[in-house]
Chain A
């Protein structure tokens, strides 16, 4: 299960959205990754999500497998494509 999103927030994925991503990923039993370019990052880790360094206009893929994968991908996608200011 993979979906691709474009970062809308003019400030990119900063502290607050990064935390929301981790909070969305943690309850999921399997692995959840953010993929930008060649790099896969553990979406359950704040430091890894920050390390993605996603900026406005960047395209990020969210990947998860197993039961509930679509829900977790959509939840993270909602954060990635939110324009909410910090």
Chain B
């Protein structure tokens, strides 16, 4: 057994047989005679045209299968084949530089790709892979190679298993996907040969595919039913590659491929994104250690931790089989909660909402079954433009977010939170030594009432189209809240005078993210309609620790008892006045925090959309009245570690999801 550490890129566990993909192309620099140039350029044009047709065909297939992300990748590839600085320059290298077509394109592509690969943005760096992928497609056509894509047709698989050992390493056959029958007979063979330990790929060439299964052999007794179940019949592949090209990943068939591991890449690689959308586990960036993996070895890829295990011992295989089954079960369980109310085991209902940054995000939130929007960050409407967004533009954005969620869904719109780490050059804000403690958010809005009132009018007008609420960020004092409320009242009066519709009873609340506001929550609660606790800033201000400073990460933990005490205080203060309390920081979707927050009586949990179904499933297994005691106990502990240990011990169903 060997363990390799990669980066977890797509959740899940892949257990299967290694299949190496992606043969390296070799292109020798070669020059041509001047009289050949015209013909070589024509050959090049024809290859580009053929590549374009191939890509178009794949794009159509992806689109027909509803795999939109993949379809877009191939659309981009077709676009690259028209790029004057790639294909255009390569053609000049043929006609003027007198280079052979394949080496002309190879060199041009490398030059272009190396510039992109050197950018400091990880997402953009990945685009170098697109340039190389599309160029290699053309080069393969020029070199007369056949399709090197993954075999996905079962007929190909059957053919491949019939051929000899050398064929299974040939990338064009690409199929160690032994069918369940073959795996079965192979495992029976193992079971028959007592004590077969780590038999590597044997000399039995005629049974190479089956031999590959034998190489899986694990010390200890193996019962073949267990084994098949462990790896999931039909036997699946785990792809191993230097890097999977978009062509490889887009054609990846989850029925045959359990997951993959690559030597290079990061979480934003195409391959990682596609793995997440197709639903197979993946680890990337595992380095050269992958080179030693042979076709047919048993491989486990842990898509969470990024660990890749080659030839696992029986205990490890067993452990991962259990994890895999549990993961599948929880995924299926989460789906069951789609469309259901968010209710605890003892019948306490809360609201699960999403945090969004644009009207488009609201559509995603709806897809993930969010019941509302707990935080609409409006600052993106303002940032990086020559003019401020007008009332109508803002109105349109807020209205479409509300309409995406439906007429009854609560949509909390937070007025702009500029400042801190979010700059707005247009306002010509002075540079500050300490921007997080500076002129930001509501402090700016109150100082520039015209700017603020434009936004308030837009929010009020949008409230005619849904259950919109307004929320003010960074309130430290009652005075700030009262001034904001007075400006809201002015905006109401103006609209009324103009005869423009708005919701008369639109709720107005505040974020609780400054300890001063948390301490005054009892007074604030008499005047506001609701609180929403912003834990990211609340933790940073309470612990006096910059959350971006990795040396201080031990302080940036929302489970610290002082933070929990403030949250508890805020919830009690609101409930004493009959007001509701939400939370829109990262803590609200944290499985270890959810039991405590439920125990304290939090009413609304707002999180990233993708966490909603899982949180609803967790809620259904929590008993709110028991958790009230747990929360009280947590407030009395000494440290965040003690709190974590308490929750892990008392609420194992939450710990399992953390």
Contact = CB atoms under 8 A, between A and B. Distances in A.
Interface stretch (B19-27, B137-145, B199-207, B379-387): B379-387
> Taking each of B83, B124, B127, B425, which has the highest tally of chain A beta carbons within 10 Å of its own beta carbon?
B124
Given A45-B84, A46-B80, A12 B124 contact: yes
Given A8-B385, A12-B121, A14-B123, A85 B360 contact: yes
Contact of A42 (B80, B84, B361): B84
In terms of DSSP, what is the predominant structure of the interface of chain A? loop
Contacts of A51: 112, 115-116, 119
A65 interface: no
Contacts of B385: 6, 8, 81, 83
Interface string A33-45: 0000000001011
- The interface size bin for chain B is 20 to 34
A45 B86 contact: yes
Nearest to A3: B386
A14 B73 CA distance: 13
A19 B79 contact: yes
Given A81-B384, A83-B383, A85-B357, A47 B124 contact: no
B334 interface: no
Given A47-B131, A48-B85, A50-B127, A19 B384 contact: no
Contacts of A7: 384
- The interface size bin for chain A is 20 to 34
A68 interface: no
A83 to B, nearest CB: 5
Interface in B424-454: 425
Given A15-B127, A84-B360, A8 B383 contact: yes
A30 interface: no
Contacts of A12: 121, 123-124
A19 B77 CA distance: 11
B191 interface: no
Given A53-B121, A85-B361, A5 B386 contact: yes
B234 to A, nearest CB: 35
Interface string A1-39: 000011111111011000100100000000000000000
Contact of A57 (B121, B380, B423): B423
In terms of DSSP, what is the predominant structure of the interface of chain B? helix
A45 B83 contact: yes
Given A15-B76, A50-B127, A42 B383 contact: no
A83 B119 contact: no
B536 interface: no
Contacts of A85: 357-358, 360-361
B498 interface: no
B96 interface: no
A56 interface: yes
A78 B276 CA distance: 32
Contacts of B425: 6
B250 to A, nearest CB: 15
Interface of A: 5-12, 14-15, 19, 22, 42, 44-48, 50-51, 53, 55-57, 81, 83-85
29 contacts: A5-B386, A6-B425, A8-B385, A10-B380, A14-B123, A15-B76, A15-B127, A22-B79, A42-B85, A45-B83, A45-B85, A47-B86, A47-B131, A48-B85, A50-B124, A51-B112, A51-B119, A53-B119, A53-B124, A57-B423, A81-B384, A83-B380, A83-B383, A83-B384, A83-B385, A84-B358, A84-B360, A85-B358, A85-B360
